[in-house]
């Protein structure tokens, strides 16, 4: 396995700290994710999957523990530094695509690159390359409302990878699709991950999809165990 890209060390997280209703969701989570590796994250609803993904993606801070991306410990760093790291190194995909409805598929993949300082022609070239990899290049000029659910999610994958992140975090990325479409869309996601060599942590309830990944981890009682 290649170099470790994402490392979580002793991650803990509590809600309602110090109050009678305090809940400890994460109890010392450890995880190492390497370049080119796809890891499935499974757990019952409410077990803390989304909390773990948000912490791994620098959207939330742990109460204790370290989050390292590319060997840099980003725990406790300034909001500005974490924002820069998140924009540069992390891509997110959610159950719902959250595409901007007033922009077409191509523009939805171009915009994050422009925000990251990429020139317009380079951004369009990158966007078309990604859309082609997932089989929706011919739909590049269509707005989200004119795309099927599967097409919308494929565009969302491309947007998440537009800035060439090191880590992809996905929260039930096919949970809003029918089984047939889910299988096809997940196949497109796997091709993107394998083709770009990034590390991917994918939360899913679908054990058939989970079994297609390199490892399956279960979040149980606040810690990660092999499923």
Q: Residue ranges per domain, the chain?
A: 4-226
pLDDT at 126 exceeding the cut of 90: yes
Report the pLDDT averaged over residues 56-84: 88
Cα–Cα distance between 5 and 121 in angstroms, integer?
A: 29
Q: What is the pLDDT of residue 1?
A: 44
Is a pLDDT exceeding 80 seen at residue 18? no
What is the average pLDDT across 77-98? 84
| Mean pLDDT calculated for residue range 78-88 | 85
Mutual orientation of helices 179-196 and 120-133 as an angle, nearest 10°? 130
**pLDDT band at residue 98 under the 50/70/90 scheme:** confident
Beta bridge partners of 13: 26
Q: What is the CATH number of domain 4-226?
A: 3.40.50.300
Q: What is the pLDDT of residue 182?
A: 82
> What is the pTM for the complete model shown?
0.88
How are beta strands 64-69 and 72-73 bridged, if at all? antiparallel
Q: What is the pLDDT of residue 101?
A: 94
Closest CA to 204 of 116, 100, 95: 95
Inter-CA distances, 101 with 97, 108, 144, 145, Å? 11, 9, 6, 7
SS3 percent helix, strand, coil of the chain, rounded to 5, is 35, 25, 35
Position 43 pLDDT exceeds 90: no
Does residue 175 carry a pLDDT above 60? yes
Under 8 Å CB-to-CB from 79, ≥6 apart: which residues? none
pLDDT of residue 2: 52
Per-residue pLDDT at 173 exceeds 90: no
- Please tell me the number of Cα atoms within 13 Å of 22 on its side-chain side: 8
- Residue 193: its pLDDT value, please? 82
Token readout for 16 is: 């309602």
Mean pLDDT, rounded, of the chain: 88
Which strand ranges, in their side-by-side order, compose the sheet holding 167-171?
90-93, 167-171, 199-203, 38-42, 215-220, 223-226
Helical H segments across the chain, by residue range: 49-56, 79-89, 105-115, 120-133, 149-161, 179-196, 207-210
Cα–Cα distance, 198 to 132 (Å, whole number): 18
Selected residue with higher pLDDT from 82 and 21:
82
Helix (H, G, I), strand (E, B) or coil at 138: helix
Tell me the two tokens of residue 210. 């989970």
């Amino acid at each position: 396995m290649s170099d470790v890209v994402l490392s979580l060390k002793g991650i803990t997280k509590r809600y309602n700290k110090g109050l009678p209703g305090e809940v400890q969701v994460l109890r010392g989570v450890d995880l190492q994710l390497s370049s080119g590796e796809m890891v499935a994250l499974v757990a019952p609803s409410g077990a803390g999957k989304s909390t773990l993904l948000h912490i791994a993606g620098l959207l939330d801070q742990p109460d204790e523990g370290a989050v390292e991306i590319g060997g840099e410990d980003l725990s406790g760093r300034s909001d500005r530094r974490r924002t820069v790291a998140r924009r540069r190194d992390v891509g997110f995909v959610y159950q719902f695509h959250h595409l901007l409805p007033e922009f077409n598929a191509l523009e939805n993949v171009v915009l994050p690159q422009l925000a990251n300082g990429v020139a317009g022609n380079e951004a369009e070239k990158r966007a078309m390359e990604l859309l082609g990899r997932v089989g929706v290049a011919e739909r590049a000029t269509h707005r989200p409302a004119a795309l099927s659910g599967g097409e919308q999610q494929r565009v969302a994958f491309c947007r998440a990878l537009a800035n060439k992140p090191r880590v992809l975090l996905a929260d039930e990325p096919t949970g809003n699709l029918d089984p047939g479409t889910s299988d096809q869309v997940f196949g497109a996601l796997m091709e993107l991950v394998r083709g770009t060599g990034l590390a991917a942590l994918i939360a899913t309830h679908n054990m058939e999809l989970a079994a297609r990944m390199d490892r399956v981890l279960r979040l149980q009682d606040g810690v990660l165990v092999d499923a």
